[in-house]
Chains A and B, each alone.
Chain A
Amino acid sequence: MFYIHSISSISHQLSFQSDGFSEKLFVLDDTSSLEVPDFKDILPPTALRRLSPILKISLTTALECRNKKEFDAIVVGTALGCLQDTEKFLNTIRTSTSETLSPTAFIQSTHNTIGGQISLFLKNHAYNMTHTQNALSFEIALIDAITLLKEGNNNVLVGAADEKIELLEKLRNSIIRSKYPLTSLATFFNLKNDQIENGIVIKDVTVNLNSTIQLGDFIDSFLEKNGIQFNEILKVYHSDCEFINGENTMNYLPYTGLNYSASALATHMAYDELSHNGKGLILIVNNICNNDFGLTLIEKC
């Protein structure tokens, strides 16, 4: 049992510092935008002038999860990393005729800039990892976080972030086929072995990639391993799976938008819903990438 001690998200929903946001979710459309706090109150001047949106929202949500002790580990999932700076540097290369090139976008284009900025800001010298496995980046980061807790660490920061850039709209209906609007989001939380009475835990998480098995069978074996019957689950959140429907299910993509870190925000939604609604289990089913499955089980004890 791994306890969520604090959790924070910035997304197109009113998720930041907003307890109970899961009851006020709204369906996103192409006009919706990132709901950001005033970064001037939170981030130092160098960060304000230099960091791209994904770095600002990641750093801000990570800082919300700080506690008095140094983190034993910082674990980040991101599918596409720092896209804005990647695009910016590709454009610098494309258009530049001079010998010198502005380095800032390149430096901040690497995926591990997210975790690196968090460790730099917090002066945190511990383990710092970045996992990037398409839509399962978050689940794999969570597996790493849980592994760290099993290894005797106790104070882990884990989360995921991905950003939308306008350029992606050009890839719609060809490379990106989805009816959901593209979004940006970051979710981070502090995961510990330390118990909280009536706390909310990550009960288990698993992935299956290059799948040739059926998602339904994968879910069955996951629940069996955890000794749970399907009807014991309070609610199933899913990424638009055709075969999951009915009263206690929710397709989360209309609320998260299409984002490869959407299951991280869905985890926050589940946390928020459970913290206001008695006991129970929520299963998050992620198959945004058709042949790659991720399952996360969240429980209020």
Chain B
Amino acid sequence: MSELKETLKAQIIEQLNLENLTVADIKDDQPLFGDELGLDSIDALEFIVLLEQNYGLKISNPSEGKDIFHSVNTLAAFIEKNKN
């Protein structure tokens, strides 16, 4: 699980072009959206792309993503639950 989280962080940094951040800067339970990281609804769409391209997971309605993309923890839990 922790390995998945580290991988996810690196993928998030790449997909969203968060150049000034490193994996260590993103905490597992830190809210991804809102003021701290400054992510918005366009980034939410990028998360959907990330999940499909890297994990084969489909989210067809962007509003479903809200809870899934809350933090690295929730993302990892979603991936774990839905893999295979």
Contacts and interface: CB of A to CB of B under 8 A. Distances in A.
A103 B47 CA distance: 11
Interface residues of A, number: 14
Contact of A49 (B19, B45, B52, B53): B19
Interface in A218-270: none
Nearest to A97: B53
A103 B53 contact: no
Interface in A38-64: 44-46, 48-50
B52 A48 contact: no
Contact of A45 (B20, B42, B49): B20
Contact of B53 (A45, A98, A107): A98
A211 interface: no
B52 A99 contact: yes
A48 B38 CA distance: 12
Given A48-B20, A49-B16, A50-B17, A100 B52 contact: yes
B79 interface: no
A292 B50 CA distance: 46
Interface of B: 15-20, 38, 40, 42, 45-46, 48-49, 52-53, 58
Interface of A: 44-46, 48-50, 98-104, 107
5 contacts: A45-B20, A48-B20, A98-B49, A100-B58, A103-B42
